Amino acid sequence: MDELRQGSRFELDENAEVATLFRQPGEEILAPVHDESLHGLGLILDASLDFKIGQTASIIFQSNTTEGVVRHIKLLEDGKCLVGFECR
């Protein structure tokens, strides 16, 4: 897959930063932040949440709220997935 990222990616300690996602009002999902870039976030989510490419979610991270669009999903071995969001 070609790298579409417009800025550098910075990996974070997954235990240090957490984002809150809302796919719909009232559905709060806490997600460890794997990495961040100028225009996006990589979040670790349970695969059972069944995120899809193109799906949107409101994301609160470091006291900022943004709209995120799923751009990639990588399944991990532990039943989780790394979901890459482009944030606007």
Tell me the pLDDT band of 9, cut-offs 50, 70 and 90.
Answer: low
DSSP code per residue over 31-52: EEEEEEETTEEEEEEEGGG---
Question: In the chain, where are the structural domains located?
Answer: 10-82
**For the chain, percent of residues with pLDDT exceeding 70:** 83
Q: Is 78 helix (H, G, I), strand (E, B) or coil?
A: coil
Per-residue pLDDT tens digits for 26-59: 999 999 999 998 889 999 999 999 999 999 999 9
The structure's pTM equals 0.84
Q: If we measure between CA atoms, which residue out of 21, 32, 27, 16 comes closest to residue 69?
A: 21
